[in-house]
Structure 1
Amino acid sequence: MFLLTFMFMISMLISLLLIGLSSLFGKKTFVDVEKSTPFECGFDPKNSPRVPFSIRFFLIAIIFLIFDIEISILLPMGIVSNSFDPLSWMLVGGAFLFLVTLGLYYEWYDKTLEWIS
């Protein structure tokens, strides 16, 4: 037990030493207003460089990720189909597909899938 505690203390000491050395000798950055502004061939930009995205884009991206994860959950069901009896396999798969379809209908009803509102 003593050896484990000693090794833990040594590893913590080395970690803290490396963190301290990196903050001491690391690159110092000073925020300069001129360097942080956008640069277009020597001229000031005409428009704002940060155009806000539509929240619809992010909602559709989240929906895509959810259905992508759903596919990764459904794919192993074909592999385990031989290890379960067909009735329970169909019930679990059907319930999962029913819940996903119910979520899709809710998003459709809530008009989340419409790009222009």
Structure 2
Amino acid sequence: MVFSWLNVAIIAALALGAVFAAAPMAGSLLLAPKARGGELTTPYECGIRPHGTPWMRFGINYFFYALLFLAFDVDVLYLFPAAAAWPQAEGIAPLVKITIFLGALAAGCLYFVKKGVFEWPRRIR
């Protein structure tokens, strides 16, 4: 293997990058205050002192709504390229593909409705 100045520059850049990544971490370990306990161990809740037990039980519906949001958020990202390529598309094949995609989304929504995910309980137990 021929070792040139380009190899030296690449190795130097990698070493310099490692130093730039490690220096702030080492600096924070050496210079950060070492206070323990007190207010540092309490959870941060938007500047308000926490009250009640920290281990509250949340209803599963919160997580279903979060998953639904993520699913539809990501699915919309798949529709943007299809919409951008629509004017250049020829034939009916893109329409069929998008219809199948939206049909799968609708089937997922119907499944969640049938399971009762969208019905919010009066009390969370």
Over residues 17-67 of structure 1, what are the superposed CA-to-partner deviations in whole Å (9 max), with x where a residue is unaligned? 3322221011323012xx3569xxxxxx9x615443222122123213322
Q: Comparing both chains, which one has the higher relative contact order based on Cα–Cα distances under 8 Å and sequence gaps of 6 or more?
A: 2
Q: CA deviation at 1:75?
A: 4.2
Which residue identity is paired with 2:27?
L
Distance 1:68 1:17 in 2: 38
Q: 1:6-45 maps to which residues of 2 (within 5 A)? A: 6-32=12-38, 35=39, 36=41
Counterpart among 48, 52, 55 of residue 48 in structure 1:
52
Q: SS in structure 1 opposite 2:23?
A: helix
Amino acid at match of 2:37: V
Rounded to whole Å, the distance in 2 between the matches of 1:15 and 1:60 is: 38
Tell me how many residue pairs correspond in the alignment: 108
TM-score normalised by the chain length of structure 1: 0.71
CA-CA distance at 1:90 after TM superposition? 0.9
Task: State the one-letter code of the partner of 1:73.
Answer: Y
Q: Is structure 2 residue 12 aligned with structure 1 residue 2?
A: no
Moved more, 94-103 or 54-63: 54-63
RMSD: 2.8
Distance 1:10 1:72, change over 3 A: closer
Q: 1:18 to 1:97 in 2, by over 3 A?
A: closer
Q: Would the alpha carbon gap of residues 60 and 16 (structure 1) be closer, same or farther in structure 2, given more than 3 Å must change?
A: closer
Amino acid in structure 2 at the alignment position of 1:26:
A
Please give the residue correspondences for 1:30-109 in structure 2 after superposition, counting only pairs within 5 Å: 30-32=36-38, 35=39, 36=41, 48=52, 50=54, 51-109=56-114
Distance 2:81 2:42 in 1: 50
Question: Matches of 1:97 and 1:80 in 2, distance apart?
Answer: 17
